[in-house]
Amino acid sequence: MKYIECGIRIDGNIMCPGGCRKVIDATKIEPNEFADQMINCLTTKCTNEGCNWPGDLLDLVQVHQLNCEYILQSCINLGCNEKYLKKDLLQHNEVCLYKLIECTYCHTDIIRINKEKHDVGRLNEKVKCIYYDIGCKTELRRRDIPLHEQSHHTEHTRLIYIIY
């Protein structure tokens, strides 16, 4: 009966542990502890395509199915309908367009698919030079900071020496 409670299910149906994938009608099965023990000790393999795990049925149901790297799962990011193998989670997260990522400029979380539009807005924002508080009164667009810092390196260095 343990197999009926927590066995392999596809679309809510309990599947035959023997690998034939026939649907088991749980209402027609009566408990038999001896049969349960014999069935739970049967050597079987994982039904997930690509997985070569061998072991007994009870271990398959209670342990392996929860940890199998070849189980197909859906992306948890809102808006993403992709399905991938559990082993490919990190690879999917690297490219998922709906994953939350941190903006390099404002450090807020944004959805990857909106990054380009968000970055354009942030790069056009007016900001103060990082040396503003010690004397460089330049305000410029964020995208122009590297050029400003390069062309005003000497003045910025002088401001730092004056302070210290």
In this predicted structure, which of 18-27, 127-136, 137-146 has the lowest mean pLDDT? 18-27
User: What is the CATH classification number for the domain harbouring 147?
Assistant: 3.30.40
Residue 44: inside a domain: yes
Instruction: Output the pTM of the full model.
Output: 0.55
Residues of the domain holding 156: 101-163
* Rounded alpha-carbon distances, angstroms, from residue 108 to 90, 115, 118, 122: 22, 11, 10, 11
Amino acid of residue 25 = D
- 21 domain residue, yes or no: yes
Encode pLDDT of 86-127 as tens digits. Answer: 999 999 999 999 999 998 888 899 999 999 899 888 888 899
* pLDDT value at 35 more than 70: yes
Domain contains 72: no
The pLDDT, as a whole number, for residue 62 is 85
Q: How far apart are CA 96 and CA 115, in angstroms?
A: 12
